[in-house]
Amino acid sequence: MKRLTFIILAIFYLIPLYAQVDRSRAPEPGPAPVIQIGDYQAFSLANGMRVIVVENDKIPVVSFQLTLDIDPVMEYDAKGYVSMAGSLMRSGTTNRDKPEIDEDIDFIGASLSTHSTGMFASSLTRHTPRLLDLMADILLNPTFPEDELKREVTQTITALSTVETDASAMVSNISDILVYGEDHPYGEVTTQESVSNITRDMLVDYYNTYFRPNVAYMVIVGDIRTDEARELMEQYFGNWQPADVPSRRYDTPLPPEGNRVALADRTGAVQSVVSVTYPVVLKPGDPDAIKVSVMNSILGGGVFSGRLMQNLREDKGYTYGARSSLSVDRLVGRFNARTEVRNSVTDSTITEILYEMERIVSEPVDEESLELVKNFLNGSFARSLESPRTIANFALNIERYDLPEDYYDTYLERLSQVTADDVQQMARKYIRPGNSHIIVGGNKAEVAESLEKFSSNGEVEFFDAFGRRLEDQEIDVPEGLTGSAVIQNYIDAVGGAERMKEIKDITINMSASIQGMVVDMVIKQKAPDKYKSIMSMGGNVMQQQVFDGTRGKMSGMQGTMELEGDMLEEMRVQALMNPELTYEERDFTLSLEGSETVSGKNAWKVNITSPRDVTVTEFFDIETGLKLRTVVTQDSPMGSITQITDYEDYRDVDGMKFPFLMKQQAGPQAFDMEVKSIEINQGLEDEIFSID
């Protein structure tokens, strides 16, 4: 048995009532009492599974946490299959299908989750045998049903469609690739293409290779005795068969030789996500770990007084929050300073982040800031001890990483001994303001040029949302090509101006699945500017919009209102039949902004600005001329929202090409609109568009 004891600094002072208190100086901390937190016991089964038991009978609950001690694997062009292998373990066994598993879990009021390196389950103590029976069945007999895999693949691909409008996700993807490299498992990025390559055989192979007891730790926490735990582990997991598990070795990533600047374009964005990051070699149990934690907290860790927060939020007013982290990892960690700011101060924000990084390297920290952070970390550690699982994780770390038995016993003592000199030494060792990846997700047109000065070679590298470099795909604009010419090419590609003018009315039937619910939409238009849309669910009309050429009305579950002002003008534009034919006569400005890659295709980027100074950005396939994407940013009660619509699956309907699949995203919401039918020149009556 190994005993974990913890020292907690208590600042209590017994001062005689008659004593004179010197309030000009902060009181010195008193002696740190030693308190008993808990015990754990560890043993091994014959198959090699290591078991750690933390007894706690305060509440009648017990939890089981299985962790595999394995090296990460490269997934290559099927990135995502390892994660799916873990999540789909609970989707069916040789004895139970997924509904039965879910029913058994619910019946005993338990929780059970699986992941690529283990599983977790918890229930009331009296249900322990039933929980372990279920847990063992899932662990030892998973079937990875094909239908569940297809469902997971579809859901994941749909979720990934939001990445191209999520600057934070863009920056994370680029960071992974640049910090770790494409030849490191931490540097692989999940894409729609990689998920599409996942097969059931991959999941089964991963499970058979890595889910072995000889690399497994089972941590048990709660209302259970160690002798009882030993019997249960033998009963339910003693037959789990060991096997050799491959180990992996990877080159350690290095910081760039000079600052490197990368940008992912989020067209129309009014804010930028900024990250300054690089790899750090700092492993669990490293003697520097506590000192580094103090140093990073002063710079921008979990305290509001962090210098990044005080500088960028309190002083400059650039952002709501700015943080830094310096992670510990068995292979390689990472430093990351990150925030989100408006476009106009993107470069100023980077300047201030680098300034604060340089300042903590070059200037000793003041004692007041040091003590504030140490007290914060002290309190955080003490609060963490309220959870029994904290003790379990401490025990797991000691066992897994071969830490000294008193590693956590002496944590607070070592924390209290950190000095200003220690902080500066750690900053000099781990903070690299001149060797960082500076990564921005934002509006290329507004911020790209201002970023060049931060790059050691004066260049900004451009990436797509999934970290694929775009520089080599940029295409020079031919002399004489204009935004108007690109629009004309589009008109010709879909059927020509004359055929467009022949369309007097059109009816489009579409449907989409949104959060598991099927939404149907019917759009009717009549030249030149009559419009009606009906959105329904289960046969019930949810929303209806009508424009009769002069007046507009919207009705739905919230009632009916006649449109006025900007909303009426937006409806007037939306109602126009083939608006591309009338841009010039309506005084729209068409500006060609160069080329970009959209969904793997080279596209011309055109800004279309109305007389009311509302800009819509559209992308047109350079090869075919067809429209690939529309981007528009609008104000809403929830703030500025960028809406992206991608157009795919163009088909011919009566001599005109129409997209039959439209992928739409607004903020975090994404869905696909599938066209069921398009009818042209059916003789729609004016009464259909009546407002009264």
Q: How far is the C-alpha of 354 from the C-alpha of 300, rounded, in Å?
A: 12
Neighbours of 85 (CB within 10 A): 26
Helices 289-299 and 346-362: crossing angle in degrees, nearest 10, is 140
483-689 CATH choice from 2.50.20.10, 2.40.10.220, 2.60.40.10, 3.90.550.10 = 2.50.20.10
**What pLDDT score does 692 carry?**
79
Q: Which of 408, 417, 290, 378 is nearest to 37 (CA)?
A: 408
Diameter of the chain measured on Cα atoms: 99
Residues 6+ apart with CB under 8 A from 683: 505
Helices 200-210 and 146-160: crossing angle in degrees, nearest 10, is 100
Strands (E) across 538-653 are located at: 540-547, 552-556, 559-562, 589-598, 601-609, 615-621, 627-636, 639-653
559-562 vs 552-556, strand pairing mode: antiparallel
User: What is the CATH T-level fold of the domain 48-163+188-237, as seen in this structure?
Assistant: Cytochrome Bc1 Complex; Chain A, domain 1 (3.30.830)
The torsion angles phi and psi of 35, rounded to 5 degrees, stand at -125, 150
Neighbours of 474 (CB within 10 A): 12
The structure's pTM equals: 0.80
Would you state the structure tokens that stand for residue 107, as one six-digit string? Answer: 């019946």
Side chain identity, residue 309: M
Q: Cis (ω within 30 of 0) for the bond into 528?
A: yes
Report, in this order, helix, strand and coil percent for the chain, each rounded to 5: 35, 30, 35
Q: How far is the C-alpha of 120 from the C-alpha of 242, rounded, in Å?
A: 20
Give the 3-state secondary structure of residue 431. coil
> What are the beta bridge partners of residue 336?
277, 325
- CA quadruple 72, 73, 78, 82: dihedral positive or negative? negative
Q: How far is the C-alpha of 416 from the C-alpha of 32, rounded, in Å?
A: 10
**What pLDDT score does 544 carry?**
93
> What are the beta bridge partners of residue 221?
54, 63
Would you state the structure tokens that stand for residue 644, as one six-digit string? Answer: 């992206």
**What pLDDT score does 390 carry?**
80
Q: DSSP H helical segments within 38-180, as ranges?
A: 81-87, 98-107, 128-140, 146-160, 167-180
The torsion angles phi and psi of 648, rounded to 5 degrees, stand at -140, 170
CA atoms within 13 A of residue 660's CA, in its CB half-sphere: 11
Q: Which of 2, 634, 535 is nearest to 269 (CA)?
A: 634
Would you state the structure tokens that stand for residue 536, as one six-digit string? Answer: 């329904």
Q: What is the DSSP letter of 387?
A: S
Contact assessment for residue 269 and residue 634, using Cβ atoms and an 8 Å cutoff: no
Q: How far is the CA of 304 from the CAs of 46, 120, 300, 310, 349, in angstroms?
A: 50, 33, 8, 7, 18
260-378+407-473 CATH choice from 3.30.590.10, 3.30.1360.230, 3.30.830.10, 3.40.718.10 = 3.30.830.10
260-265 vs 437-442, strand pairing mode: parallel
Contact assessment for residue 49 and residue 212, using Cβ atoms and an 8 Å cutoff: no
Fold agreement between 260-378+407-473 and 483-689: no
Q: DSSP H helical segments within 594-653, as ranges?
A: none
Contact assessment for residue 619 and residue 596, using Cβ atoms and an 8 Å cutoff: yes
Q: How far is the CA of 671 from the CAs of 158, 226, 454, 646, 666, in angstroms?
A: 7, 51, 38, 11, 9
Give the 3-state secondary structure of residue 591. strand
DSSP string, 648-663: EEEEEETTEEEEEEEE
Q: Which of 563, 613, 592, 383 is nearest to 488 (CA)?
A: 592
- Give me the average pLDDT of each 10-residue run along the chain (692 residues): 32 30 48 51 96 91 95 96 97 96 96 96 96 97 97 90 87 97 96 96 98 97 95 97 96 96 88 97 94 95 87 94 95 96 96 98 94 89 77 86 86 92 97 97 91 96 90 73 95 96 95 82 94 91 92 88 88 89 92 85 92 91 95 70 88 95 78 92 94 83
The residue to which tokens 């300073």 are assigned: 337
Q: Which of 126, 139, 148, 147 is nearest to 95 (CA)?
A: 139
Q: Which of 258, 287, 276, 389 is nearest to 324 (CA)?
A: 276
Cα torsion through 382, 387, 392, 397, rounded to 10: -40
Q: How far is the C-alpha of 130 from the C-alpha of 147, rounded, in Å?
A: 27
Contact assessment for residue 502 and residue 495, using Cβ atoms and an 8 Å cutoff: no
317 — alpha (psi -120 to 50), left (phi > 0) or beta? left
Contact assessment for residue 212 and residue 245, using Cβ atoms and an 8 Å cutoff: yes
- What are the sequence ranges of the domains in the chain? 48-163+188-237, 260-378+407-473, 483-689
> What are the beta bridge partners of residue 222?
55, 62
Side chain identity, residue 120: F
